[in-house]
Amino acid sequence: MEKFEDIKVNFCNIKNNFCENVKDKVGVSINNEQLTPYEQSLNQMIMVENKANIEIMNINRLLLEARTILPRI
C-alpha cells in the first residue's frame, strides 16, 4: 500500500506542473480553492498515518514483552 507521503509527492508534482502551465485567474482560483486544500488534507493524513505507525510499533513492543513473559501467547 502506498504511503500518504508518496501520494503527496506525486500530487505536488502534478500541482506544480499545473501552476507552471496555467497563468490565468481561473488557474490561480483552481490552485487556491481546490488544489491547496487537497494538499492540506494530505498533510493531515500524513500526520494521522505517522501517529498510527507509532501506535503499531508500541503495540508490537508490548506484544514482544508479553511473549517474553508468557511464551505461549
Angle at 16 between CA 52 and CA 5, to 5 degrees: 15
pLDDT of residue 70: 87
What residues does each domain of the chain span? 4-69
According to the model, what pLDDT value does residue 71 have? 75
Could you list the pLDDT tens digit for every one of the 73 residues in the chain?
789 999 999 999 999 999 999 889 999 999 999 999 999 999 999 999 999 999 999 999 999 999 898 877 5
Q: What is the pLDDT of residue 73?
A: 56
